[in-house]
Chain A
């Protein structure tokens, strides 16, 4: 049983930037036991039929850990595409493509949140100009109304409803939301507040990760 204050804490975060040699930006990100590798190519050459005059074309590819790609992945890709399109400054790179490839390795709750956070870290590693960063957290609600922040699959077994929110870093506004199960208005607001608090820790983690990356690069010179 999670203790009350533990319930509103994130699981350990881990990120390793630039682990893939051929991509322009990459990260291995994990949220507790949920792990995902993300690579970004861009701004790169675009296929003529996808070329856009007004900005970069965003393409997302999300593969399941095993088996063929299904509807679930397509739905996640649509959310990620919306997020990347609205957060990068695509108009700086017209007639180019930004390709984000994601490979989840282990699924233990918060898969969408982990994929979103990995995408943001990989875009940062790729040094694409962005108007804001984004961070995502999953919250769940149990039958008796207890809100759990970022639960593992085991902790979430008692959950009757789940929600994933994505916040941006400038005004802490909501960029995307995705619900599973029923939420009363009050519980929804409580869940949103818990997720917002959780996202602050993730933005802090982004800051530390990038600091670590640059301190390493400086030392090598």
Chain B
């Protein structure tokens, strides 16, 4: 919302993705920047660049020579000297270390592995909806009561940690991703993600490896019989906890936010469930939750903008996904879009390792929701709260559950 009493904020020179104003109005800000100032800048977090056009985002994602993944979350704490592994491999790793760290995880997230998790995900969604609809509820919070729980339960199952630890995971994620740097001095050491993983690994140290992802990483041996370095195991578990939760929660929430407001799209999905294959990709394009970051390895130019070595850059996949230079009718949500090379999961060697899992969760969550709650609308659009930081999605999403479609169509 534009506050008429304030002078117009110029995001091109005061960019800050961790402010509420940005979170609430991001798509409009991206449109403005792409048109007017393709590489925005802000002094916050020690200085950050924001290239908004598809062409630049795509070039940076593919250029691992000049951009490092040593830092992927923009914060005043800028990692240095951690390459090529970084603190959460493979996402923070650079070549050539990156490839091995990634191949370690790929089989667990392959389409065949993800297929095996589908039935349990359906059951998770059904259980959440049973609870949500108990006592004939006529309102619900689709983010708080539904979307946020789904990826937590799936990843807890894959890692082999208690589902109840999901509440802790969400606290870690809030600190790390939504308000990076803010909590550094306020958190006790035993209340950190690091401590959680360290304790979990210590508890398992003297037992037989369990058949889950933590067990797999702890018992992994390379061809020479060497285990993984313990900092790699720790960092990789940290990545799996942090990266797979609020990202998918955001995608599910944003898709439900859209469907709450577009009766026509709801009806098309109800009439033709096979449309979901295309709908999921269009939700991912239009509401891509994730903006990554890189650190420049050297002084370089993006167009005419001078970037200095060690500067932060945000990789604006969500803005690239709405660039009219790359997509026909980019500003239109088309539920059956046929040509959709979206960047929601990134591009190049760092393509999201969990993309098959995320896609399955999103599809399952929407199918189950529409089966039980085919008709719904926002209780009050002003009550929807979008998360700040590099993962954007609705964190509060109050909806009214309707007995039938409203008579007046909004779409």
State whether these chains interact: no
Interface residues of A (CB under 8 A from B): none
